[in-house]
């Protein structure tokens, strides 16, 4: 991705489906002095996604799409992104799979955070799988989004130790805490 020059911030859209703790954290990151991004839009496929409250709280434009017709929905989203001059998409707990066509249109400008040490445990239930397999380490990854799910180039990873007494819930909590450090760090890495 291009280097940022001067004071121009990269207009960013965050896509969410749930709690939005990463969204909230990215908003916080967008307000520090050295940040390369501004958050101008949040998109959700879930009307009642809890994370949408941060859009209200921080006065960020929000749009909800139900994705019943993926092709139509993506067309609407692409128009909106163009209108808002968005040039970075951060997926943060977004539970819909974007089409090859959509990704192509935004090639190299969509990133995602995933709660595992990719390429291990693509897809869902990553914490459960790590516990079930008695993994000694777990973690999270920020990567570029390509048409193959959770398979794009890795930008940054954070590895943590799994404690003997951890279960999927405690592990998820620990990893989420690391995610909140990793996502901003990965964005800084891309643009510096």
Q: Which residues bind ligand GRF (CB under 6 A)?
A: 16, 18-23, 51, 92-93, 113-115, 176, 179
Shortest distance (Å) from residue 131 CB to ligand GRF: 15
Strands (E), 21-109: 37-44, 61-64, 88-91
Shortest distance (Å) from residue 116 CB to ligand GRF: 9
CB of 20 or CB of 36, closer to ligand GRF: 20
Nearest residue relative to ligand GRF (C-beta): 93
Shortest distance (Å) from residue 17 CB to ligand GRF: 7
- Does the active-site annotation cover 114? yes
For 65: left if phi > 0, alpha if psi spans -120 to 50, otherwise beta; the answer is: beta
Q: Give the number of residues written for the chain.
A: 192
CA distances from 96 to 16, 32, 123, 184 (A): 9, 30, 11, 22
CB of 22 or CB of 30, closer to ligand GRF: 22
CB of 36 or CB of 115, closer to ligand GRF: 115
Backbone φ and ψ for 16, nearest 5 degrees, come out as -135, 165
What residues act catalytically?
Answer: 114
């Amino acid at each position: 991705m291009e280097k940022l020059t001067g004071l121009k911030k990269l207009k960013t859209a965050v896509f969410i489906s749930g709690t939005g703790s990463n969204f909230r954290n990215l908003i916080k990151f967008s307000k520090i002095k050295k940040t390369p991004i501004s958050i101008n839009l949040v998109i959700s496929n879930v009307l009642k996604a809890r994370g949408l409250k941060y859009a209200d709280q921080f006065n960020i434009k929000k749009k909800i799409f139900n994705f019943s017709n993926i092709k139509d929905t993506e067309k609407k989203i692409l128009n909106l992104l163009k209108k808002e001059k968005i040039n970075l998409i951060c997926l943060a707990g977004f539970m819909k799979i974007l089409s090859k066509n959509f990704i192509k249109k935004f090639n190299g400008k969509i990133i995602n955070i995933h709660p595992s040490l990719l390429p291990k445990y693509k897809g869902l239930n990553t914490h459960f799988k790590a516990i079930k397999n008695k993994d000694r380490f777990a973690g999270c990854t920020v990567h570029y989004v390509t048409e193959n799910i959770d398979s794009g180039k890795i930008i940054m990873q954070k590895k943590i130790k799994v404690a003997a007494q951890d279960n999927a819930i405690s592990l998820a909590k620990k990893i989420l805490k690391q995610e909140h450090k990793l996502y901003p760090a990965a964005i800084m890495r891309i643009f510096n």
